Amino acid sequence: QVQLQESGPGLVKPSETLSLTCTVSGGSISPYYWSWIRRPPGKGLEWIGYVYYSGSTNYNPSLKSRVTISVDSSKNQFSLKLYSVTAADTAVYYCVRDYSGTYVFDYWGQGTLVTVSS
């Protein structure tokens, strides 16, 4: 059974960089796509972007200028960096297995709350 676990700071100051890592266990990073998704308080789900196991990426156009998603296959991990954060980036962040050839978003992490505040 594939399991995903997010890790990283729960509090980030405005204008700084939000950094999260997702560790995948029970399965391999390859040959899949892996996404980050967030849910701000009181709002719906927002897709941030995905990384393919080879390292290629695709981002939400509304966040593209501030996002980098990378993969480390040797550690079975992928990571999110969101730059120049504001209070609007406060959300529960989920790491998710993206496209697997048939399903999209079939395995989810438990989510981690990141609050942007000074």
Partner 1 sequence: VMTQTPLSLSVTPGQPASISCKCSQSLLHSDGKTYLYWYLQKPGQSPQLLIYEVSSRFSGVPDRFSGSGSGTDFTLKISRVEAEDVGVYYCMQAINVRTFGQGTKLEIK
> Is residue 115 classed as helix, strand or coil in its secondary structure?
strand
Please identify which residue in 47, 53, 76, 83 interacts with partner 1, judged by CB under 8 A.
47
Please identify which residue in 46, 53, 73, 76 interacts with partner 1, judged by CB under 8 A.
46
Which residue is listed with tokens 């509090």? 11
Task: CB nearer to partner 1: give 21 or 40.
Answer: 40
Q: Name 33's Cβ contacts closer than 8 Å, sequence gap at least 6.
A: 50, 51, 52, 53, 97, 98, 99, 100
Q: Is 35 in the site for partner 1 (CB under 8 A)?
A: yes
Residues numbered 94 to 113 that lie near partner 1 (CB under 8 A) are 94, 98-99, 102-106, 108-111
Secondary-structure percent of the chain, ordered helix, strand, coil, rounded to 5: 10, 55, 40
Q: Is 27 in the site for partner 1 (CB under 8 A)?
A: no
Q: How far is the CB of 115 from partner 1 (least distance, A)?
A: 18
